[in-house]
């Protein structure tokens, strides 16, 4: 399901690129305000946030490395901005430094704690955070063979982007867009006010449900306090925490931009088969960040959001990849031809990384 910018008063930033899934079990909850989670049971409490003022050593302020391209569809030209360099005219490696900021959320309403430092039962003793760092999103030892074509031994999103532009990349073989690091910054503890978060069981397992507007305001403050620079990507990680917008639950992650500063949030859910399982939400969001970093690429389907058209598929569009003894779930992503670019742009004329059968704009965006 697509969460749209229905309430400009509450939504101060173009917070699109949201990955959401409707949960019927939360439909009966009354919401007082669009920004609040369910009705307040007691007097409101002030926000207590333990925010460390850390200035990571990053490159001097510089813009994110991006390139501009275009394609024609039905006699209209669509331009876009993506992360990296132009695969048609360059044959180089772009590496974007990544910071992961784990967010430990404590719900003032109920006192439960949701912590990315938790150790899921299926990781062999790794924390959710460690299991994310070891995932195919950052590890580059997985070989991706798509429809019989080896598109590279690399990180997942780079393999996807190479496949999406295989018409050029098969000759520009050194073309890569990589995530550097990641550098994990110290965990930040946030107290979720009574009217901004609660627990629920939207998919049958206990999870936090937290206002996306509230969390996004915390994240924007953190980007400033941490000294994050626009030429890097900060990723804010929560654990078993779905975001809500008014009565709508559950958002597994989002990507956004304030000016030239791009960023993303995702949650790690540890139960098999649930929405946002392990790094699936992150794989969705990073794919969308890489192909629409400023959240302004318009197409005939709407915004060029490469994860949204497939999130309704079985297992939420995820494919399983074994690495380090763990079965990671990585979401399939549509390629540029899905939005109307010439099919020859992508490997095997594929409309998705995994070769799912689709027509142009079939599932919207
Ligand atoms: Zn999305």
DSSP secondary structure letters along 150-217:
EEEEE-HHHHHHHHHTHHHHTTSTT-EEEEEEEEEPPPEEEEEPTTTEEEE-TTSS-EEEEEHHHHHH
* Composition of the chain by helix, strand, coil, percent to 5: 20, 35, 50
Question: Dihedral of the CA atoms 211, 212, 218, 220 (nearest 10)?
Answer: -160
Could you tell me if 211 and 37 are in contact, meaning their C-beta atoms sit under 8 angstroms apart? yes
User: How many helices (H) and strands (E) are present in the chain, helices listed first?
Assistant: 5, 20
Token pair 């742009």: residue: 345
Percent of the chain surpassing pLDDT 70: 84
Please name every residue paired with 106 in a beta bridge, in sequence order, or none if there are none. Answer: 113, 191
How many angstroms does the Cα of residue 127 sit away from the middle of ligand 1?
26
How many angstroms does the Cα of residue 268 sit away from the middle of ligand 1?
16
How many angstroms does the Cα of residue 60 sit away from the middle of ligand 1?
30
Angle at 232 between CA 187 and CA 244, to 5 degrees: 55
Residue-level pLDDT at 96: 98
Residue 5 has pLDDT above 90, yes or no: no
Residue-level pLDDT at 179: 98
Q: Identify which of 3, 31, 23 has the alpha carbon closest to the alpha carbon of residue 202.
A: 23
Query: For the chain, where are the alpha helices, taking DSSP H only?
Result: 128-133, 156-164, 166-169, 212-225, 280-291
Length of the chain: 365
How many angstroms does the Cα of residue 358 sit away from the middle of ligand 1?
18
Could you tell me if 73 and 200 are in contact, meaning their C-beta atoms sit under 8 angstroms apart? no
Q: Identify which of 226, 245, 202, 247 has the alpha carbon closest to the alpha carbon of residue 102.
A: 226
How many angstroms does the Cα of residue 46 sit away from the middle of ligand 1?
32
How many angstroms does the Cα of residue 44 sit away from the middle of ligand 1?
33
Residue-level pLDDT at 1: 30
**Mean pLDDT in residue range 169-196:** 98
Q: Strands 142-146 and 149-154, how do they pair? A: antiparallel
How many angstroms does the Cα of residue 281 sit away from the middle of ligand 1?
9
Residue-level pLDDT at 34: 57
Residue-level pLDDT at 164: 98
Percent of the chain surpassing pLDDT 90: 82
Question: pLDDT tens digits for 38-70?
Answer: 533 223 322 222 223 234 444 457 999 999 999
Question: pLDDT tens digits for 270-284?
Answer: 998 999 999 999 999
How many angstroms does the Cα of residue 254 sit away from the middle of ligand 1?
7
Instruction: Give the integer Cα–Cα distance in Å for 117 and 127.
Output: 5
Question: pLDDT tens digits for 282-296?
Answer: 999 999 999 999 999
| Cα Rg of the chain (Å, integer) | 20
Query: For 25-169, where are the alpha helices, taking DSSP H only?
Result: 128-133, 156-164, 166-169
Residue-level pLDDT at 150: 98
Residue 349 has pLDDT above 60, yes or no: yes
For 24, residues 6+ apart whose C-beta sits below 8 A from its C-beta are none
How many angstroms does the Cα of residue 161 sit away from the middle of ligand 1?
16
How many angstroms does the Cα of residue 296 sit away from the middle of ligand 1?
13
Q: Where are the domains of the chain?
A: 19-26+45-349
């Amino acid at each position: 399901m697509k969460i749209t910018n229905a309430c400009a008063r509450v939504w101060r930033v173009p917070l699109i690129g949201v990955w959401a899934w409707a949960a019927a079990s939360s439909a009966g909850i009354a919401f007082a305000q669009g920004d609040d989670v369910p009705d307040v049971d007691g007097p409101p409490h002030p926000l207590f946030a333990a925010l460390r003022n850390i200035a990571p050593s990053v490159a001097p302020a510089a813009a994110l490395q991006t390139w501009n391209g275009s394609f024609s569809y039905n006699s209209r030209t669509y331009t876009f901005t993506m992360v990296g360099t132009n695969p048609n005219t360059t044959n180089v490696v772009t590496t974007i430094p990544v910071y992961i900021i784990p967010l430990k959320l404590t719900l003032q309403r109920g006192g439960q704690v949701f912590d990315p430092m938790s150790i899921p039962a299926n990781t062999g003793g790794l924390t959710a955070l460690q299991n994310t760092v070891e995932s195919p999103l950052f590890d580059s030892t997985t070989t991706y063979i798509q429809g019989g074509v080896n598109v590279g031994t690399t990180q997942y999103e780079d393999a996807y982007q190479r496949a999406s532009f295989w018409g050029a990349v098969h000759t520009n073989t050194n073309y890569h867009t990589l995530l550097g690091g990641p550098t994990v910054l110290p965990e930040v503890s946030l107290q979720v006010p009574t009217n901004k978060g609660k627990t629920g069981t939207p998919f049958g397992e206990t999870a936090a449900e937290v206002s996306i507007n509230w969390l996004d305001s915390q994240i924007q403050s953190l980007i400033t306090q941490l000294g994050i620079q626009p030429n890097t990507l900060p990723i804010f990680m929560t654990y078993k925490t779905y975001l809500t917008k008014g009565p709508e639950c559950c958002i597994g992650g989002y990507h956004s931009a304030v000016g030239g500063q791009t960023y993303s949030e995702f949650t790690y859910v540890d139960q098999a088969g649930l929405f946002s399982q392990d790094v699936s939400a992150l794989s969705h969001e990073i794919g969308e960040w890489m192909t629409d970093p400023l959240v302004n690429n318009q197409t005939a389907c709407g915004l060029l959001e490469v994860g949204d058209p497939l999130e309704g598929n079985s297992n939420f569009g995820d494919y399983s990849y074994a690495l380090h003894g763990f079965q990671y779930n990585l979401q399939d992503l549509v390629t540029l031809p899905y939005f109307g670019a010439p099919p020859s742009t992508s490997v095997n004329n594929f409309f998705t990384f995994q070769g799912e059968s689709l027509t142009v704009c079939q599932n919207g965006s």
